[in-house]
Amino acid sequence: MAAPEVHHLFHSPIADHSFSADRELLAVARENNVELYSHTGNRFALKDELKGHEKVVTSVDIAPQTGKIVTCSQDRNAYVWEPSPTGWRPTLVLLRINRAATFVRWAPSERKFAVGSGARVIAVCYFEEENDWWVSKHLKKPIRSTITSIAWHPNSVLLAAGSTDAHARVFSGFIKGVDSRPEPSVWGERLPFNTVCGEFLNGSAGWVHGCAFSPSGDALAFAAHDSSVTVVYPSGPEQPPKAVVSVTTQLLPFMSLIWNGESEIIAAGYDCEAYRLRGDENGWQLVGSLENKSRPGLADRGEESALNMFKQLDLKGKAKNDTQLKTVHQNSINTIRSYEEDASGHVKRFSTSGVDGRVVIWNV
């Protein structure tokens, strides 16, 4: 496997990142701002900054077709940024929440997006032409705590949400006049707004950190704080699931995950590296890490001189500096995203970002 492409942007945590469809623009959530980097040669150079939020930006997403950028923040606001001759023009979104906005993602149709929050609601936002602004409808029941992650179904109507109340839920986010009626699926047929199509509890009552639908939309995976990944295969509307497969690992918890086809999941989190899981409704298992720990440059850098060794022992009480991790990321990974896919929907490359200020592009 080819070596990963590492971009160490700065020495601050990256809350979230997103690439444009042509992969020439990278948006990174850094403290109160979103930094935009352009691809020049084999590196990313700072091109612009989106300033407008008063508190920490928690999430960012670039719409693949339109190129619009949506951001949300602990200041309880979300903005949609559109390119204009004078730069990026922000439009405030009427979220109507009284706690921090925690997560945002565009629907595949790009006609709406969903914002998770600490107010125990998900704001499904859409553009109202007559008033020329973005408004929201709230998904409320039966959410009992902060929303940590959101994932859209390929039909742009259903969405999954992970929460700190240890549940992953599937809701209908159908907006009349915006969405066309979806085809019947294993999640349901008639889907008015706020229909709960599925509610799944983590076995250890751990926070759900990340969730994702499979490419077909017929399975849901979610990662929780008990270091498990659970895959749900629904059987039909108002029916118990065909299978619920939970993989408990001896690793630290995963924060984010993506599907690679229908039978593979790539997940990453507090262990600072990405792991591969494979399986189907009969069972899943952890295959292993995607990293090659014996990469060039990670091996010990030859024998050090005796003088230098004793100098290190005198200064630090040890001969070698063991603060460097053997992984590419030097701190936990917050976000994993698909970077490049083939025609069949399989991931060829994916990107990760984390607390160490790095964005890394991996080959599968």
> Residue 303: its pLDDT value, please?
47
Q: Is the pLDDT of residue 1 over 90?
A: no
> Residue 292: its pLDDT value, please?
81
Tell me the average pLDDT of the chain.
93
Q: Is the pLDDT of residue 295 over 50?
A: no
CA nearest to 241, candidates 277, 210, 201 = 201
> Residue 321: its pLDDT value, please?
62
Residue 190 pLDDT grade (very low, low, confident, very high; cuts 50, 70, 90) = confident
Contact 281, 238 (CB under 8 A): no
Q: Is the pLDDT of residue 51 over 70?
A: yes
Euclidean distance between CA atoms 342 and 105, whole angstroms? 22
| Rounded mean pLDDT, 174-199 | 93
pTM over 0.95: no
Comparing 281 with 323, the larger pLDDT belongs to 281
Q: Is the pLDDT of residue 287 over 50?
A: yes
pLDDT digits (tens, 9 = 90+) for 311-361: 767 776 665 666 789 999 999 999 999 999 988 879 999 999 999 999 999
> Residue 345: its pLDDT value, please?
79
Residue 305 pLDDT grade (very low, low, confident, very high; cuts 50, 70, 90) = low
| 184-191, long-range: CB < 8 A, 24+ apart | 185/153, 185/155, 185/158, 185/217, 185/218, 186/218, 186/234, 186/235, 186/236, 186/237, 187/153, 187/158, 187/217, 187/234, 187/237, 188/158, 188/237, 188/238, 189/237, 191/157, 191/158
Written in H, E and C, the secondary structure of the chain is: CCCCEEEECCCCCCCCEEECCCCCEEEEEECCEEEEEEEECCEEEEEEEECCCCCCEEEEEECCCCCCEEEEECCCCEEEEEEECCEEEEEEECCCCCCCEEEEEECCCCCEEEEEECCCCEEEEEEECCCCEEEEEEECCCCCCCEEEEEECCCCCEEEEEECCCEEEEEECCCECCECCCCCECCECCCCCCCEEEEEECCCCCCEEEEEECCCCCCEEEEECCCEEEEEECCCCCCCCCEEEEEECCCCCEEEEEECCCCEEEEEECCCCEEEEEEECCEEEEEEECCCCCCCCCCCCCCCCHHHHHHHHHHHCCCCCCCCCCCCCCCCEEEEEEEEECCCCCEEEEEEEECCCEEEEEEC
Domain 5-363 has CATH 2.130.10.10: yes
Q: Is the pLDDT of residue 309 over 80?
A: no
> What whole-number percentage of the chain has pLDDT above 90?
85
Q: Is the pLDDT of residue 293 over 70?
A: no
Q: Is the pLDDT of residue 299 over 50?
A: no
Contact 351, 358 (CB under 8 A): no
pLDDT digits (tens, 9 = 90+) for 62-118: 999 999 999 999 999 999 999 999 999 999 999 999 999 999 999 999 999 999 999
Q: Is the pLDDT of residue 189 over 50?
A: yes
> Residue 322: its pLDDT value, please?
66
Q: Is the pLDDT of residue 294 over 70?
A: no
| Rounded mean pLDDT, 247-270 | 97
